[in-house]
């Protein structure tokens, strides 16, 4: 079977993952700190130190004009901008007007907020670039939903082409790709709202409307299992064999790459998803029976007996035949004009930000599992995978991480930028800054919260890696 990264070897993929991860983190850190730096300079604050990364110094340069020392350190998992501040050391009276702590509240707040906002602005730019150059995505044609799923109960059988979607039947939005379908379903599941789909079937001229009841769907995480419950995991793909493992059940039965499976034991195979599920479920009792497959080969139908083999997948018995099942999905180029692409980029950034906040809120109140949290290992893995797929996938990955970094830093948690903005709100309301003793204790609490969050995220990474 073909590797998901084409001809890239495991060693090459590891190097690509490391490189893509370092570039991603370094770029997002630079943008974040540049936001703080640019706003500080605009507000007349002197910046003493601009660092990308922590640890041993690799490179440095001091600006003769501004006196700012720019440094690149060995570990690019963060950075900081150090400004002139009377709270951190003595300040020359001649330069006191350039100290951060003496600036008006609005200037200090703007400097603090500029970092996260720079990340959100970067996400808008990256999404806009993808919209302008275009990206090939699967057509919005649905696969056969799994038995008992939401879509199966709604009457879908596979092959339906979704044309529009929305919360209200009177205000539906165009759907251009399968990713748009998943986006609407994710929103509906998170917000516990039903979705209306307008779709067309191959044998019907007039489109139909269907209400997808997601409002009462119980779930604790946004992952593959959620979409299995909904019934939409993958786009439509013909039930064709694309690759066989030598010595496995499929090759020993006489199947060949290119065979299109029409029926299994007389049951019509609508698509690859249905065939994969049938094979998987054949081993649930620990034993399998021979199946009669009707396949189309070179235009002719043939009957071939196939006996799947029982294997264990995370403690569950499943059936496998040792073949890659599914023809390449039909793709459509999604591209927008300059203005429309920028508008949609802003909307996309807003939607992802809102989705991120909703997910965090659900984790806090217990409506979603903490298993949704991901750490550096998972981020590095997705960095490598997206880079291996291509430029647009990597840009979309960068945009998503940039949104996450911006939203995370705006949370009202001490230590983060949002925590400092919370101090500014207190000062604006009370007319006095937060007492130093309070701030020290709050910083400790914030650091502990951040450390706990990171520990959970890394634990989830390790669990996924070992599981």
Amino acid 460: pLDDT: 67
Per-residue pLDDT band for 136 (boundaries 50, 70, 90) equals confident
Q: Could you give the CA distance from residue 276 to residue 283 in angstroms, rounded to a whole number?
A: 12
Share of the chain above pLDDT 70, in %: 90
Does pLDDT of 382 surpass 70?
Answer: no
8 pLDDT band, cuts 50/70/90, is: very low
Question: Considering its fold, how many domains does the chain have in total?
Answer: 3
Q: Domain for residue 443, yes or no?
A: yes
Is the model's pLDDT at 399 over the cut of 50?
yes
pLDDT of residue 17: 78
Band of the pLDDT at 1, cuts 50, 70, 90? very low
In terms of residues, how long is the chain? 467
**pLDDT for residue 338:** 94
Residue 179: Cβ-neighbour burial (10 angstroms; 0-12, 13-18, 19+) = middle
Let me know: does 443 contact 434? Beta carbons within 8 Å.
no
Q: Do 195 and 248 share a domain, yes or no?
A: no
Look at residue 88 and tell me if it is in a domain: no
Q: Is the pLDDT of residue 454 over 80?
A: no
Asked if 351 and 446 sit in the same domain, the reply is yes
Considering the domain architecture, whether residues 205 and 108 belong to the same structural domain is answered as no
CATH of the domain at 220: 2.30.42.10
Residue 41 lies in a domain: no
* Cα 2 to Cα 9, 314, 382, distances in angstroms: 12, 23, 19
Q: Which of 234, 466, 459 is nearest to 369 (CA)?
A: 459
Q: Do 427 and 384 fall into the same domain? A: yes
Tell me: do 438 and 362 sit in the same domain.
yes
Q: Tell me which of 54 and 132 has the higher pLDDT.
A: 132
Q: Which residues are annotated as catalytic? A: 33
Instruction: State the pLDDT at residue 127.
Output: 94
- A 10 A CB-CB count for 417 gives 24
Cβ–Cβ < 8 Å for 35, 114: yes
Query: 363 and 406: one domain?
Result: yes
Residue 179 within a domain: yes
Q: How many Å is the Cα radius of gyration of the chain?
A: 27
Q: Using DSSP, state whether 461 is helix, strand or coil.
A: helix
Among the residue ranges 163-167, 185-189, 209-213, 346-350, the one predicted with the least confidence is 185-189
Same domain, 290 and 368: no
Of 230, 264, 292, at which residue does a domain stop? 230
Q: How far apart, in whole angstroms, are the C-alpha atoms of residue 379 and residue 387?
A: 12
pLDDT (0 to 100) of residue 178: 92
Residue 93 lies in a domain: no
Provide the angle, in degrees to the nearest 10, between the axes of the packed helices 391-410 and 105-133: 160
Of the ranges 146-150, 196-200, 360-364, 387-391, the best mean pLDDT one? 196-200
State the pLDDT at residue 3.
38
Please tell me whether residues 362 and 301 are part of one structural domain.
no
If we measure between CA atoms, which residue out of 372, 391, 405, 396 comes closest to residue 26?
405
Average pLDDT over residues 78-93: 87
Q: What share of the chain is helix, strand, coil (3-state, %, to 5)?
A: 45, 20, 30
What confidence tier does 6 reach under pLDDT thresholds 50, 70, 90?
very low
For residue 412, being part of any structural domain is answered with yes
Is the pLDDT reported for residue 7 higher than 70?
no
118 and 166 assigned to the same domain = no
Q: Is residue 172 part of a domain?
A: yes
Same domain? For 223 and 262 the reply is no
Q: Look at 462 and 455; give whichever has higher pLDDT.
A: 455
pLDDT of residue 261: 95
Residues 425 and 344 in one domain: yes
Note down the domain range covering 298: 241-327
Residue 11 lies in a domain: no
pLDDT digits (tens, 9 = 90+) for 37-51: 999 999 999 999 999
Domain final residue pick, 210, 230, 250: 230
Report the DSSP beta bridge partners of residue 302: 295
Residue ranges of the alpha helices (H) in 192-269? 224-230, 249-253
pLDDT of residue 431: 86
Q: What is the pLDDT of residues 213-264, one digit of tens each?
A: 988 777 655 656 778 888 888 899 999 998 899 999 999 999 999 999 999 9
Please give the angle made by the CA atoms of 39, 45 and 49, to the nearest 5 degrees.
85
Last residue of a domain, one of 296, 327, 358: 327
Residues 341 and 323 in one domain: no
Is the separation of the CB atoms in 329 and 291 below 8 Å?
Answer: no
Does residue 378 register a pLDDT over 50? yes
Strand 260-264 vs strand 173-174: parallel, antiparallel, or unpaired? unpaired
Say which residue, 3 or 35, is predicted with more confidence. Answer: 35
Whether the pLDDT of residue 4 is over 50: the answer is no
Average pLDDT, the chain: 85
């Amino acid at each position: 079977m073909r590797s998901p990264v084409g001809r890239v070897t495991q060693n090459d993929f590891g190097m690509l993952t490391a490189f893509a991860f370092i570039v991603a983190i370094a770029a997002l850190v630079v943008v974040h700190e540049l936001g703080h730096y640019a706003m500080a300079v605009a507000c007349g604050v002197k910046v003493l130190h601009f660092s990308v990364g922590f640890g041993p110094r690799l490179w440095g340069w001091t600006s003769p004009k501004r006196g700012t020392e720019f440094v690149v350190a060995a570990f690019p998992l963060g950075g900081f901008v150090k400004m002139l501040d009377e709270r951190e050391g003595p300040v020359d009276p001649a330069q006191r007007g350039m100290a951060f702590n003496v600036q008006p509240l609005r200037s200090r707040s703007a400097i603090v907020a500029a970092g996260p906002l720079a990340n959100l602005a970067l996400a808008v730019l990256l999404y806009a670039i993808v919209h302008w150059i275009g990206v090939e995505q699967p057509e919005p044609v649905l696969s056969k939903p799994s038995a008992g799923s939401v879509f199966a109960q709604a009457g879908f059988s596979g092959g339906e082409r979704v044309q529009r979607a929305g919360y209200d039947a009177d205000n539906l939005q165009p759907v251009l790709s399968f990713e748009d379908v998943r986006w609407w379903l994710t929103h509906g599941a998170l917000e516990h709202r039903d979705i209306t789909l307008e779709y067309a079937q191959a044998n019907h001229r007039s489109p139909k409307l269907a209400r997808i009841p997601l409002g009462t769907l119980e779930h604790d995480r946004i992952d593959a299992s959620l979409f299995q419950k909904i019934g939409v995991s993958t786009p439509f793909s013909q039930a064709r064999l694309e690759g066989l493992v030598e010595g496995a059940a499929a090759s020993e039965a006489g199947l060949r790459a290119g065979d299109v499976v029409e029926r299994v034991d007389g049951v019509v195979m609508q698509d690859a998803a249905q065939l994969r599920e049938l094979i998987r479920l054949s081993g649930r009792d620990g034993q399998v029976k021979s199946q009669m497959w009707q396949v189309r080969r070179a235009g002719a139908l043939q009957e071939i007996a196939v006996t799947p083999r029982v294997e264990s997948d995370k403690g569950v018995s499943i059936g496998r035949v040792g073949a890659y099942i599914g023809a390449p999905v039909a793709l459509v180029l999604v591209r927008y004009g300059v203005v429309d692409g920028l508008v949609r980029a802003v909307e996309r950034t807003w939607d992802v930000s809102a989705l991120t906040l909703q997910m965090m809120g659900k984790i806090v109140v217990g409506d979603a599992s903490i298993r949704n949290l991901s750490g550096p290992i998972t981020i590095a893995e997705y960095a490598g995978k997206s880079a291996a797929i291509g430029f647009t996938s990597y840009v979309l990955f960068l945009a998503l991480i940039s949104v996450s970094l911006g939203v995370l830093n705006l949370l009202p948690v001490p230590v983060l930028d949002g925590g400092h903005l919370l101090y500014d709100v207190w000062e604006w309301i009370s007319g006095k800054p937060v007492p130093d003793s309070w701030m020290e204790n709050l910083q400790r609490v914030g650091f502990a919260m951040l450390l706990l969050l990171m520990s959970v995220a890394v634990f989830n990474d390790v669990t996924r890696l070992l599981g």
